[in-house]
């Protein structure tokens, strides 16, 4: 039985419907998903950077480091948000590779001291903090 | 090959079976989009067909498995598949004809929802303020999704001789591929690379289309699923019938 399957699969390799086409398509898929080639068809170009923001990004001469506090144990909706933000950050970085850096920071990984300092800093800037009690996750 | 294609479509339209599938499909769709209070377009208040494109894959999970469940398993259990094999056509042509006929029928079902688009167009205020390209893109995505589902359905129909089992298993696999794998993301104990799992689900690639993004990798994904399961059913028939 096993020999039969293997011989059938090996005989097919040069045909169109075969494992070789599937694998070559998989490689093309990985290539395109890595390159992230996409066409934004929305009328207001919701998913692409506007020309004015590209201009501002290109005009940055000093190093800018983005710290995005969106990492760690996230609920699924937030994971989706994170992947979308990641995509936008890749777009931004493409226009100014030299100066723009970004990282996703997990608040739970910071020590208590650092965390409290950070929260104080946010409060001093008039940013309200809300703590979500997720049954799976520990609150900040 | 063309004769099998024509025969499958004739079977569908000549019998009560086709009429029932068509009428129930439009009844469910119409109820969800225009009448049911939790999901109707009037309460939603935005002139887009987003609701339709959110609901319709779940309806297709049931309908495509019911279209494809009998396509090969019936012929095998009745013994008419041997007659088909005695004709001068290859396995590839048989499955291709059956796949294309199923895909044609599902595209026909999708095409008949076209009046929704016109209705939304005239309901919008100011007149015509809808994003036509997003809707067109969503239709392309839906047609590709349906093609991938048909290919999987035919594969299960070729495995099992019992129609009910092929119906249930293809239903299960559709749901698993559409949304089920995505549920792994809900468990934090399983630490996979973020958005790695997304690449396996229908819903991720399909939602790209409904959002108005044409991503080449999503197009390739659906083609891969179609070809893979087409090839699997080809191999399966060769093993069992030679």
**How many whole angstroms separate alpha carbon A140 and alpha carbon A116?**
10
Number of neighbours of residue B195 by Cβ within 10 angstroms: 16
Two structure tokens written together for A57: 């990004």
Burial status of residue B17 (CB atoms within 10 A of its CB: 0-12, 13-18, 19 or more): middle
**How many whole angstroms separate alpha carbon B171 and alpha carbon B63?**
9
Residues of B in contact with A18 (CB under 8 A): 231
At A79-124, the pLDDT tens digits run 778 878 888 888 888 888 888 888 888 877 777 888 888 888 888 8
**Structural contact between residues B170 and B153, judged by C-beta atoms closer than 8 angstroms:** yes
Tell whether B134 lies on the interface with A, counting CB pairs under 8 A. yes
pLDDT for residue A135 is more than 60:
no
Residues of A in contact with B230 (CB under 8 A): 17
Q: Which residue in B134, B182, B238 is closest to A8 by CB distance?
A: B238
Residue predicted with more confidence, B127 or B241: B127
Q: At what angle do helices B202-211 and B216-241 cross, to 10 degrees?
A: 140
Two structure tokens written together for A41: 């068809």
Q: Which of A64-78, B132-146, B199-213, B222-236 has the lowest mean pLDDT?
A: A64-78
Phi/psi at A65 (5° precision): -115, 115
Complex-level ipTM = 0.83
List the one residue out of B78, B70, B141, B146 whose CA is nearest residue B107. B146
Per CB distance under 8 Å, which residues of A are interface residues toward B? 1, 4-5, 8-9, 12, 17-19, 21-22, 25-26, 28-29, 32-33, 36-43, 46-47, 73, 76, 79, 82-83, 86, 136-137
DSSP string, A14-64: TSSSSHHHHHHHHHHHHHHHHHT-EEE--TT-TTS--HHHHHHHHT--S-E
């Amino acid at each position: 039985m096993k020999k039969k399957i293997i011989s059938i699969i090996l005989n097919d390799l040069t045909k169109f419907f075969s494992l070789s086409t599937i694998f070559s398509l998989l490689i093309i898929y990985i290539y395109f998903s890595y390159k992230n080639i996409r066409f934004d068809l929305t009328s207001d170009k919701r998913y692409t950077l506007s020309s004015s923001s590209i201009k501002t990004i290109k005009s940055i001469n000093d190093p800018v480091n983005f710290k995005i506090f969106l990492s760690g144990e996230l609920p699924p909706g937030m994971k989706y948000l994170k992947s979308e933000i990641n995509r936008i950050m890749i777009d931004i970085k493409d226009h100014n590779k030299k100066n723009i850096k970004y990282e996703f920071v997990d608040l739970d990984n910071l020590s208590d001291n650092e965390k409290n300092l950070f929260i104080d800093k946010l409060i001093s800037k008039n940013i309200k903090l809300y703590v979500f009690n997720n049954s799976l996750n520990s609150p900040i | 090959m063309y004769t099998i294609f024509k025969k499958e479509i004739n079977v569908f339209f000549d019998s009560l079976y086709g009429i029932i599938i068509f009428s129930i499909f439009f009844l469910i769709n119409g109820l969800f989009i225009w009448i049911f209070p939790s999901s109707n377009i009037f309460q939603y208040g935005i002139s887009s067909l987003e609701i339709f494109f959110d609901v319709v894959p779940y309806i297709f999970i049931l309908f495509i498995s019911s279209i494809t469940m009998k396509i090969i398993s019936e012929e095998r259990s009745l013994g008419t598949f041997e007659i088909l094999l005695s004709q001068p056509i290859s396995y590839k042509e048989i499955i291709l004809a059956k796949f294309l006929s199923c895909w044609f029928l599902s595209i026909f079902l999708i095409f008949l929802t076209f009046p929704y688009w016109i209705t939304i167009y005239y309901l919008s205020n100011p007149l015509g303020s809808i994003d036509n390209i997003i809707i067109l893109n969503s239709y392309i995505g839906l047609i590709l999704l349906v093609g991938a589902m048909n290919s999987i359905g035919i594969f299960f129909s070729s495995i099992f001789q019992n129609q009910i089992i092929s119906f249930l298993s293809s239903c299960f696999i559709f749901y698993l591929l559409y949304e089920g794998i995505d549920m792994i993301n809900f468990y934090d104990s399983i630490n996979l690379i973020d958005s790695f799992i997304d690449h396996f689900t229908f819903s991720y690639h399909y939602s790209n289309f409904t959002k108005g993004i044409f991503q080449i990798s999503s197009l390739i994904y659906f083609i891969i699923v179609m070809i893979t399961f087409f090839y699997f059913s080809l191999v399966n028939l060769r093993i069992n019938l030679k």
